Chains A and B, each alone.
Chain A
Amino acid sequence: MDSRDFPAQAAAALEQPTLQRSLAAMRTAMPGLRATALAGLPDYPALRARARDMRDASIGSLGELLRAYEARVIAAGGTVHWARNAEEACRIVGELCDAAGARRVIKSKSMVTEEIGLNDSLQRRGLQVTETDLGEYIIQLRGERPSHILAPALHLGLADVAATFEQHHRRPRAEPLREAEDMLAEARAELRAAFLGADVGITGANFLVAETGAAVIVTNEGNADLSMTLPATHIVVTGIEKVVPTLEDLGVLLRLLARSAIGEPLSAYTTLVHGPRRPGDAAGPRAFHVVLVDNGRSSLLGTTQQPLLRCIRCSACLNHCPVYTSVGGHAYGSVYSGPIGAALTPALTGIAAAAHLPNASTLCGRCEDVCPVAIPIPDILRHWRSQALAARIGTGPERPGLRAWRYLAAHPWLYGRVLALAARVLRLLSVPAGARRRLRGLGSLGRGWFAWRDLPAPDGETFQERWRRRRLRQRGA
């Protein structure tokens, strides 16, 4: 899948019944859950403003905060690595695994590791990598990409999961898998063995706290806790923008994250981890590493896209987007999908490869409304649209169309004439429907639109004409 093929991929997604069923369920359920959870807060607008300002302040002093965080991790006995790009990050993690003599790696879900293509890179080194988030595990078995930031297997139904497990889990089975409970039990058993046999555990981090040197990891399954407690080595791979100053600042984001994401006050497990096992500790890894990944983030500083760095990956913008909830995540062809993906991907991959994504939006503004850190996503999408146009990317019909429109708009007399003509022609093409007339088709033009909807027909007269008539009448009276 490639972002360049968005139109074809989106069209295909509309024809996938399982995906459409999941998306419809999400579209109906999520907005209400989120709204109820936020209504339980004493003053959501104030908390949101606080979160936005705190993230801005943190991004303004990222260097300072990361140095403080690094000093804390080192003092606790851990090591911090810095990676300029995906390749560097993968190499660092690979070398750490080699140094640990690792063969088996377990991972908890992390978008940054998707972004840098870590699994492929580790597998090329001969390591066996197992994703432990259930959804991520399922799509790993199927060789697919996540279709949602938090629910990576959203596009699959129970029957797909059953088929995947039957194919990959080599276990005697009296009858085919049918019940969700049985699938869960099977995955639990398979993954428990993976947890207990792993040499290295890799997790992301939702946040880093400069004050204490904590990496903060949030899950509902508890898989990150097992991934970071059982193996002898724990490697945290995360973006440089995740750091916040203090524990109170962390509290502000935690109070927003799960409420925005899943409509609950907190996820089932929120874990703060500060380094390797200490003398006398009964559990925990002997070695603890943090890999801080830049991969294009620092180049957003000082640009109009800088607010993207505030993102806490809650996925509220996906769940509320009319485009995402129609086509799902795979259509975008990028690691990050939905509104945040459309705004972020051009910054990560360049506008040439992602020129369709900023257009995958109606600019209705719901993404900005529901964003807990108030990222102006529509403004950023508009910025990318004008970049693409200026760079002459996408030679679609829009360029001559826009040029014609500009000419018309700059010549009022001609504008009036053309509109008057159009109003009459459209009326002629319309059909009676009740008291009014409606437009049901325009020949070969807009066939996709008219297959499902119609349009109210113009009255055959433009506003300017009517206004002129009214003025004449008034003068005559």
Chain B
Amino acid sequence: MAKDETQGFRLIGTRPDRPDGLDKVTGRARYGADISAPGMLHAAVVRSPHAHARIVKIDASKALALPGVKAVITRADLPTGLTGEDWNLQENTLAGEKALYDGHAVAAVAATTKLIAQDAAKLVEVTYEVLPHVTDVDAAMAAGAPVIRAGTADHSVPEGMHPNVVKYIDFGHGDVEAGFAAADLVRAQSYKTEATHQGYIEPHACMAQMGSDDRGEMWVCTQGHWYIRRMSAAVLGVDASKLRVTPSEIGGGFGGKTTIFMEPLALALSKKAGGRPVKLVMSRSEVLRATGPTASASMDVKLGMKKDGTLTAAKVMFRMQGGPYIGSSPVGEALSCALACYDVPNVMHEGYEVLANRPKAAAYRAPGSPMAAFAVESLLDEMCRELGLDPLKVRLKNAAREGTKSSYGPTYNRIGLVESLEATMAHKNLLAPLGPNQGRGVASGFWFNHGGETSVSLAIGEDGTVTVSVGTPDIGGSRASIALMTGECLGIPYEKVRVNVVETGALGVNEPTHGSRATFASGLAAVEAARQAMAEMCRRAAAEWDIDPEAVEWRDGAAHPAGPNAGKFPPMSIAEIGAKMGGSGGPISGHHEVTAGGFGASFGVHVVDVEVDPETGRTTVLRYLVVQDAGRAIHPAYVEGQYQGGAAQGIGWALNEEYVYGADGRLQNTVFLDYRIPVASDLPMIDTVIVEVPNPGHPYGVRGVGETGITPPLPALANAIHAATGARLRSLPMSPPKVLAAIKAKAGG
């Protein structure tokens, strides 16, 4: 069975059409809101217009009196006694004593039509006692800030902090003070980033049905249907196995669809309405007001550097709010990512998680890493300029490599930051001439990647074709890449493998498609399952040839006698084995389940050229380059797509996107017109270079590729804007008014 799996691939690295392409270009693909069922009701949610308010009374009598209304639910319909994150999820699904942010759900209605449900929602009378609120992270920590929920803080928080400070983290190694003393230049700065939203174009949507026996079914757009099942079951107090959750095609997630926001409401409404199916689809403004944006951050960074660019010490202090519940902000990840690109002997990280009257934050692509990179990579750039050093050479000089003890603890195995920096330095974009008001910025970025709980099954068909069942919803082409790996392993054509994303009843528990794990972990499990099936097929051939199974080898999609001593038998193809399997021992399948370790860290380097209009402060991206280590690009077109999509989101975060809260604590920009994500005319082509430093922890060398790309754009753009204008922006987004003010302040000062 010896096969060189590091080179000479037949399928890996090719770019076949994706299996779901035809359905998606013809409009046939079915997303969350695209299915209906007989007798189906429609739901609408009543949401708090206040950032912080005690719920005094909810009167649904007028709503219930409206013809066509079948059920209204409030928190009183949900079980009590939940604790920890389950309580947080229940509280976020439907407010209890207090509404904690603008848009917080307080009741839900099911009716025979969408319009009646919406009308009925307006008839639910909620009496609020409005309380003082706070939405800014620094303000929420300050003395006198309104207390969001006393007693939330865990034991880590030092005495004397405001009760909104709920978690403190610190870790590091070396002696930072000695490190700063040994530096030629020590600089410290503070940075702020606003919350942004994942901005998937498909709003959350589900259709659910649950009977009085608590058995339920759900169709839902999600990155992880086992998470939906477990969380919904916990919120409703039912057994997880009573729920069967089927994922729809998913219209983007970026981390935001790894948790529940409203799914238990559909189940509870269905049960209350006699088990009729209920469809619940969010509007865009509900998505923006009430589903997971990322955290907002306030950060201090201090770096020490020698004249030659060597980093001697680094210290970071991050404060992040992720809404009104503990554990929603990615402060721990942000700290761990902050200095992960570099080999710094002395590092110290500290962070606080803070509660605020904002929606419960969810994961967003490389959670925490973009903010951290904005702070660290901006200061690094400033110091390179001050010392007259090339920012790429300084990054290369300090780059983490195999054997480096990472800033967050573990020692790296084979990683590709050095190769990525070298590929960047050799790229033609660095030679492009720059004109007046133009500037170039560079930055590096990091993400851990992830393995996680994974269960995959594979079955050989009667005609020798192969079906793979995976539990990771396909957001960006993972069915294609898993089919390529399976076909590669079995020696059969790509077209002979069908990969299905299956429901919760069909496999063991799978974590969501998150952390850049689907192609890595489901791919790894599919390859292991294929190897099992392959071994069984060799046994079937051996039995028929009456030789030892050890004397059979698998290659080119067929069993072969392993050598001249094994006997002279013509190869037995997978199709022949499949056709005969009923009589040769029964169905042939493979199955693998694992909590996948061995994921390989991901590094990338971005270079951006901008032009800043000195009259308006508007930044135009002229040229953009993404260089990133993929480990191995299984389907390079979809790897490039991840790089380009990540860069576009990062550009949006850097230049435009932000949550804007009014003095009343209400979100001001609740539609795409005001929460403006990059459009086609905002961007240039995005150049990509795929570096391949194979991950030793995967049979084909795969690292995840999805996350890292959103990280470098934030600092790269800040660095480019500085290069173009001389003005240093330390707060995101770098919108035209802010850039203009910074240019003017510089001219004035």
A and B form one complex = no
